[in-house]
Amino acid sequence: MAETHDFASFKKRIKPIMRAPISSRVYKNRYGWQVAEPVRNDFTLEEIWEIIRSGDIMALRELSRYFYRTNSEYRNNVDFLAHLPLYDTVIIPNFEEGKGSKTQITKAFYNACDFVDKLDVPNTFANITAEWIKNGVYFGILRMDGNKPTIQDLPLEFCRSRFKDFNNLNILEFNVLYFETFSDKEMKKEVIESFPEIV
């Protein structure tokens, strides 16, 4: 006989860990807009098992984020796994005979090297991997800040990927209702301007 669990009061018990609206948790520092995470007393073992058994993705993410902030052993394990790959990058020129001069090919090669150097692949992708391990998924968009490439984090709650394009790459869907979570007009304007024009 399958084991059953009573989740009648589950949502009520995990309510203290659910985050407040973004607009009430956002603040700005020298790195740009940041979102404050909730602080809560430690979970009981029973609560942890119920969250895991429930399969509630949002609650699981909150639990993982909570322990990453408060439990050094959990944080060290996540960081260890995120930094385990070396993220070494190899750039190999690919050209066809008779297309492009030696000067053009050399310039394109150095531009590619410069792009990778400015992207800071080891640190950037270690941070992305850490976020992926904590949340189970990562959404970001590659954009240029002047002549420096950067990957902008996107809010998980407003992103999804259900389809692939003709090159078998995932298509990112972003819900623009994210901007409605900011009640302050000045803050909303600044957040909108921090996104690429395509959004």
The per-residue pLDDT for range 63-75, each reduced to its tens digit, is 898 888 888 899 9
Confidence at 195, pLDDT banded by 50, 70, 90:
confident
The amino acid sitting at 162 is R
Residue 134: count of CB within 10 angstroms of its CB: 19
The whole-number pLDDT of residue 1 equals 46
User: Could you read off the pLDDT of 156-193 as tens digits, one per residue?
Assistant: 889 999 999 998 988 889 999 998 888 888 888 888 88
Distances (CA, A) of 158 to 31, 40, 122, 127, 174: 22, 25, 27, 20, 6
Quote helix, strand, coil % in the chain, to nearest 5: 50, 15, 35
CA atoms of 105 and 95, how far apart (whole Å):
8
pLDDT, tens digit, 9 for 90 and up, residues 87-105: 988 998 877 777 778 888 8
pLDDT of residue 115: 93
For position 32, what pLDDT does the model report?
54
Residue/partner pairs of 166-175 with CB below 8 Å, 24 or more apart? 172/139, 172/141, 174/139, 174/199
Whole-angstrom CA distances from 75 to 67, 69, 71, 78 are 7, 7, 6, 5
Cα–Cα dist 171/173, whole Å: 7
Q: Are 10 and 54 in contact (CB under 8 A)?
A: yes
- What number is the average pLDDT over the span 120-145? 91
Res 62: pLDDT: 86
Residue 2's pLDDT band (cuts 50, 70, 90): very low
Q: How far apart are CA 132 and CA 136, in angstroms?
A: 5
Binning pLDDT at 50, 70 and 90, where does residue 121 land? very high
Q: Which amino acid is at 3?
A: E
Q: How much is the pLDDT for 15?
A: 53
**pLDDT higher than threshold 90 for residue 113:** yes
Between 3 and 83, name the one with better pLDDT: 83
pTM, rounded to two decimals: 0.71
75 Cβ contact partners less than 8 Å away, ≥ 6 residues apart = 67, 68, 69
Question: Greater confidence, 23 or 122?
Answer: 122
Residues in CB range of 51: below 8 A, 6 or more apart: 14, 43, 59, 60, 63
